[in-house]
Amino acid sequence: MTSQYNHVETIHYSTAAIRGTRLTDQTYDSVATPIYQTSTFAVPNCESGAMRFSGEQPGYYYSRMGNPTLTALEERLALLEGGEAAVVTGSGMGAIAATVWTFCKPGSHLIADCTLYGGTYELLTEGAKEFGVDVEFIDLSVPNNLNHALRENTAMVYMETPANPTLKITDLWEIARRAHEYCPEILVAVDNTIATPYLQRPLFLGCDIVLHSLTKYLNGHGDVIAGAAIGSSSLMEQIRRRGLKTMTGAVLGPFEAYLVMRGLQTFPLRMEQHCSTAELVSHLLASHPAVEKVYYPGLPEHSGHELAQKQMRRFGGMVSFEVKGGRSAGAKLLNSLKFCLLAVSLGDAETLIEHPASMSHSPYSDQELEEAGIPAGLVRLSVGLEDPQDILEDLQQGLDKLLEDGQSGR
């Protein structure tokens, strides 16, 4: 099937995002990706049908197992992450669940970082754990913790960096090296949703599988739910055949794949702007007297700053912070903002702000939040692509108001 895909030899990342791989339309040579809005494909004869099902012969036969529009997106994502292959799915959770159900069985040991996206945390605790996977949460930002946790039956090490929502940084190279030194078969999986492959490429740092919620920066327009796994051809084939086809059925629709392809064309450009504005926002927050603490890896006082400088190109578009007065003051701030939209999700053109403890991370109990280092009053901001001045002014007025209300004792 790859013969249909025309690879442009280039090292320039923004060119790769736009033209790196292309599904050539044999009939009209359409420049935009054609949408193959079909569930099934006619096969030339019974023998050929059997061989496509078994994988002996290339060719499409049913869109849950493959579709040309989906393949176009998979090839592009593999190129952008530096992997051999990719599998796209109907959501980020679809990709994560398909990966866990492919490689973890009852009795397998899975080591996960304690700070994770709420849905992933729920999958690992209420899904995998209940089905007999031995899930252990530790703080992987301290690599020594991994050495104490590794066991003979460890199948996977799983993490996010920067982690959602505290933007904690974990040393990917160090974690992958230690896990593989213990046993080369252990799969090191990284959710790269927040960094994106423009800022960080875990496969080049020794990790085995990269996971994405394409819903976020890669699509970037807030109009699609989609996910992906990227890695070696062999691992991706296993995820496709077991995790996607059988265990989850979390297939992506061709139209959604087309939209993500379209979003990818401006992805490097968008990331530069997200990073620039987030840096400005982090400075405003860090200098405002109503703010208790800012969590942004670009700030020198962030505990992962040096490491982020080493493993990321820039520091990303997410900024988390705590205001003085904790949870209730945080809620007051969110309710007083006029420009930032009070909404979960991230990586959209619109600036989105939310309260993890009651929204994106509500699967965590209060005690679990504390163990994961997620303050109950934490506010998570996804800095959008609007004029930076509009974002800064809104935050400024909201924080000033908090200060005034505090002083008047309200």
Ligand X SMILES: *Cc1c(COP(=O)(O)O)cnc(C)c1O
Of the pair 122, 139, the CB lying nearest ligand X is at 122
Question: Candidates 3-11, 213-221, 257-265, 378-386 — which segment interacts with ligand X by CB under 6 A?
Answer: 213-221
Question: How far apart are alpha carbons 193 and 91 in whole angstroms?
Answer: 12
Q: Is 117 in the site for ligand X (CB under 6 A)?
A: yes
Taking CA atoms, 52 is separated from 36, 61, 63, 248, 376, in Å, by 18, 7, 13, 21, 52
Instruction: Assess 254 for contact with ligand X (CB under 6 A).
Output: no
Asked if 248 interacts with ligand X (CB under 6 A), we say: no
Cβ distance to ligand X smaller for residue 205 or 346 = 346
Is residue 196 close enough to count as binding ligand X by CB under 6 A?
A: no
- What is the contact mask toward ligand X in residues 303 to 342, using x (rule: CB under 6 A)? ----------------------------------------
Q: Which is nearest to 398 in space by CA: 313, 323, 286, 295?
A: 323
**Is residue 191 a contact point for ligand X (CB under 6 A)?**
yes
Strands 291-295 and 85-89: unpaired
Mark 32-71 with x for binding to ligand X (rule: CB under 6 A) and - for no binding: ----------------------------------------
**Active-site residue among 61, 62, 64, 241?**
64
The verdict on 351 binding ligand X (CB under 6 A) reads no
Stretch that binds ligand X, among 27-35, 211-219, 270-278, 386-394 (CB under 6 A): 211-219
Binding of residue 164 to ligand X (CB under 6 A): yes
Is there a catalytic annotation at residue 171?
Answer: no
- Residue 93 as a binder of ligand X (CB under 6 A): the answer is yes
Q: Is 92 in the site for ligand X (CB under 6 A)?
A: yes
Among 40-48, 54-62, 190-198, 300-308, which window interacts with ligand X (CB under 6 A)? 190-198
Answer for the pair 128, 110: CB distance below 8 angstroms, yes or no: yes
Minimum CB distance to ligand X, residue 160 (Å): 5
CB of 343 to ligand X, least distance (A): 12
Pairing of strands 187-191, 154-160: parallel
> Residue 170 interacts with ligand X (CB under 6 A)?
no
213 lines the binding site for ligand X (CB under 6 A): yes
Nearby residues of 318 by Cβ (< 8 Å), 6 or more positions away:
162, 164, 165, 167, 194, 278, 296, 346, 380, 381, 382, 383
Is residue 100 near ligand X by the rule CB under 6 A? Answer: no
Minimum CB–partner distance for residue 276 and ligand X (Å)? 21
Q: Which among 22, 201, 216, 240 is annotated as catalytic?
A: 216
74 binds ligand X (CB under 6 A): no
191 is catalytic: yes
In the residue annotation, 410 being an active-site residue is answered as: no
Q: Restricting to residues 119-158, name those near ligand X by CB under 6 A.
A: 119-120
Contact 166, 139 (CB under 8 A): no
Nearer to ligand X, 227 or 384 (CB): 227
The minimum distance between CB 359 and ligand X, in angstroms, equals 12
Q: Is 166 in the site for ligand X (CB under 6 A)?
A: no
Which of residues 33, 215, 320, 351 is near ligand X by CB under 6 A? Answer: 215
Q: Is 222 or 268 the residue whose CB approaches ligand X more closely? A: 222
Catalytic residues: 64, 117, 191, 216
Task: Name the site residues for ligand X (rule: CB under 6 A).
Answer: 91-93, 117, 119-120, 160, 164, 191, 193-194, 213, 215-216, 225, 227, 346
